[in-house]
Amino acid sequence: MTAAFFATKASLRLLRESDRGRVINIGDSACERPGPRDLALSYHVGKTGVYLLTRSFAVSEAAHGVTVNMVSPGYLENSVGLLSAAEIPAGRLGSFEDIFHAVEFLLSSESSYMTGSNLVVSGGWNLR
């Protein structure tokens, strides 16, 4: 969370001067559902913090033409504690390409009115 905060603060002047300032944070598919965690407590606390930073910066930077959004992966092919593909509603684990396409969309002009959003890319895992 600290890195996301300082990287965003350091880049704001340049982003505000550009015609298409974009901040895209990487979250976790469970960051909008805080609760007790058995494993990786600091990871989940940090990702929830990045979610709150994303929304806060989105409000403060909208007037400057800078959008601030987040992409939150679910289980990916290299995730720790992998599930079987059958446990994911989409029937497969996510790939880096899936995440790349979400980031690519948020960088595009088609997303210029989106700010403060969290795109969950989890194959439906977060719907459980």
- CATH number at 58 reads 3.40.50.720
Tokens of 47: 């990702």
| Residues taking part in catalysis | 43
pTM of the predicted model as reported, rounded to 2 decimal places: 0.91
For position 44, what pLDDT does the model report?
81
Domain extent for 16: 2-127
For position 117, what pLDDT does the model report?
97
Q: How confident is the model at residue 19 (pLDDT cuts 50, 70, 90)?
A: confident
Q: How confident is the model at residue 84 (pLDDT cuts 50, 70, 90)?
A: confident
Q: Are 51 and 6 in contact (CB under 8 A)?
A: no
Tokens of 86: 């059958």
For the chain, the 3-state helix, strand and coil shares in percent, each to the nearest 5, are 50, 15, 40
Structural domain count, the chain: 1
